[in-house]
Amino acid sequence: MIELNKDLERENIGRKASMVAISGNILLTIFNFIVGTLSGSTALVAEAAHTLSDVITSILAFVGFKIGMKPADRDHQYGHGRAEPIAGLIIVVFLVVVAYEILSDVYVKLLMNESLQAPDWTAAGMAVIGMIVNYAMTTYLIRSGKKINSPALIADGQHQKVDIFSCGAVLVGVIGAQMGFTLLDPIVAMFIAIMVLRTAFVVARDNINTIMGKLPSEEILEEIRAAAMSVEEVKGVHDLRVNNMGPYASAELHIELDGDLKLRESHEISHKVEKQVINNVGPIKMAIVHTCPFEDGCEE
């Protein structure tokens, strides 16, 4: 029952965060396009196209999250959790594409000598609104992703963070164009492209590490050990391993028990330890517990 409640809470938080991201990006896309067209800001129209890509990545993150929530089955006996870091890697592809588009625009403006037209100040106001909204969505997505240990939501939040700098570039570009500094916009855009690529690298590294089963944190080992030792009959814990599967992880550990215990008693204690680990250590969804006599230890 505890595990079911945890899954339900996780699903509710993930769905709400995804819907906020999708709805927010759809509204930003519409307003950026309308204001950009009316004010004559090509940068804001381009930002509308960029925000439209955010809608796609938010949908991808949500799909990855939903697949990751599916329970284990005959073909996927450890569940579908790795769908989330896979969705995170797909988002990386979108980040690289965005960086390429920005650098292509910089190339046109710098090498092709394209002049920068000064847009209306309305575009600057929309850029400020975009920065505020994107900051709020970024903070909410990353916080929600960390709360439920969702690589897909965290990756989407990191992607959303890029839009803060992108809207900042639009703002700087408008101000620079009004003051006659036509080179300011492409220079700032180049900086944003570098930030996008850096974000893509960080997101790719984190999600690849998750797929490779990297330990979620060093503290989790102590939490598992403490949960196992909270069972009165357990004398010691060794050979502890954790396999990261995205939103969840599995644990394998050896517990040391009194050597005079009967097989059935040892078996019951191992089940107690399994429940303690799963119920008290956040990311652990499965636990495999081996029993060993305390006086002899256990050889690999």
Q: Assess whether pLDDT exceeds 60 at residue 171.
A: yes
pLDDT digit string (tens) for 35-66?
A: 877 776 666 666 776 777 777 777 777 777 77
Q: Assess whether pLDDT exceeds 50 at residue 300.
A: no
Q: Assess whether pLDDT exceeds 80 at residue 69.
A: no
Banded model confidence at residue 34, pLDDT cuts 50, 70, 90? confident
Banded model confidence at residue 284, pLDDT cuts 50, 70, 90? confident
pLDDT digit string (tens) for 70-99?
A: 776 777 766 677 777 787 788 788 778 877
Q: Assess whether pLDDT exceeds 80 at residue 133.
A: yes
- Interhelix angle 83-111/151-179, rounded to 10 degrees, is 20
Banded model confidence at residue 113, pLDDT cuts 50, 70, 90? low
pTM to 2 decimal places: 0.65
Express as a percent the part of the chain with pLDDT over 70: 82
